[in-house]
Amino acid sequence: MTAKIKNIAELEKKIELEFKNKDLLTLAFVHKSFINEHTEEKEYNERLEFLGDAVLELSVTQFLYHNYPSQPEGQLTNWRSALVKGKNLAKVSKNLELGQFLLLSRGEDLSGGREKEYILANTCEALIGAIFLDQGFEVANQFILTHIVRMLDDIIAKGLNVDAKSRVQELCQDKLNVTPTYELLSEEGPDHDKKFVMGIYFGKKLAGEGHGPSKQEAEQSAAKSALENEGWN
Q: Which residues are catalytic?
A: 53, 125
Q: Name 107's Cβ contacts closer than 8 Å, sequence gap at least 6.
A: 33
Distance, CA of 162 to CA of 155 (rounded, Å) = 9
